[in-house]
Amino acid sequence: MAELTHLNADGAVHMVEVGDRPSTRREATAEGLIQMGPQVLALVLAGQAPKGDVLAVARVAAIQAAKRTWELIPLCHPIALSGVEVAIEPSADGAGLRLQATARTTGSTGVEMEALTAVQVGLLTLYDMLKSADPAMTITGVRLLSKSGGRHGDWQRAQDKPPQDTGDD
């Protein structure tokens, strides 16, 4: 098991010191799914959801969440993001929407948490805006797809099937 960097030698929680690390270009991409009934998905894709353009609002919410990750996750550093991209499209199985977020910075710590937070908040925003039409929606499969830069170098999730609802929620 890898070293848990948020624990000091005594096992106490602390914020990792990154001041001595060199600044490098860093990027992380994450994804997640929201599953919904076919009627609701059709409304969203037609731009006819009761609360308006839910896709635009979810994209903005995801970007805002990436920028505020350090306020939400106690041991995250504030990061000057150089870019955040959010894409929302129908999932491969047609049962909902897939949201993917990519965060970038040049700095001394990674942006994995920013990408993951963007995905979670974007999906929660979709749920909030569509819950009156389908309260049984399920958010699932939130995961890091890739990261680059930093001490540990590049990492990419092995190709596998897209995340699916297992019914275990």
Q: What pLDDT sits at residue 114?
A: 97
> Is residue 75 domain-resident?
yes
> Is residue 81 domain-resident?
yes
Number of domains in the chain: 1
Q: Is pLDDT of 14 > 80?
A: no
Q: Distance between the two ends of the chain, CA-based, in angstroms? A: 27
> Is residue 39 domain-resident?
yes
Q: Is pLDDT of 30 > 60?
A: yes
> Is residue 165 domain-resident?
no
Instruction: Kindly list the catalytic residues.
Output: 128
> Is residue 79 domain-resident?
yes
Residue 85's domain comprises 24-148
pLDDT in tens, 55-96: 999 999 999 999 999 999 988 889 999 999 999 999 999 999
> Is residue 127 domain-resident?
yes
* Residue 32: alpha-carbon gap to chain centroid: 7
Q: What is the CATH number of the domain that holds 54?
A: 3.30.70.640
Buried b (16+ CB within 10 A) or exposed e, 36-75: beeebbebbeeeebeeeebbebbbebbbebbbbbeeeeee
How far is CA 143 from each of CA 1, 31, 85, 136, rounded to the nearest angstrom? 19, 6, 16, 22
pTM of the model: 0.86
Q: Is pLDDT of 164 > 70?
A: no
Give dist(CA 23, CA 5) in Å, integer. Answer: 19
The predicted model gives 27-44 an average pLDDT of 97
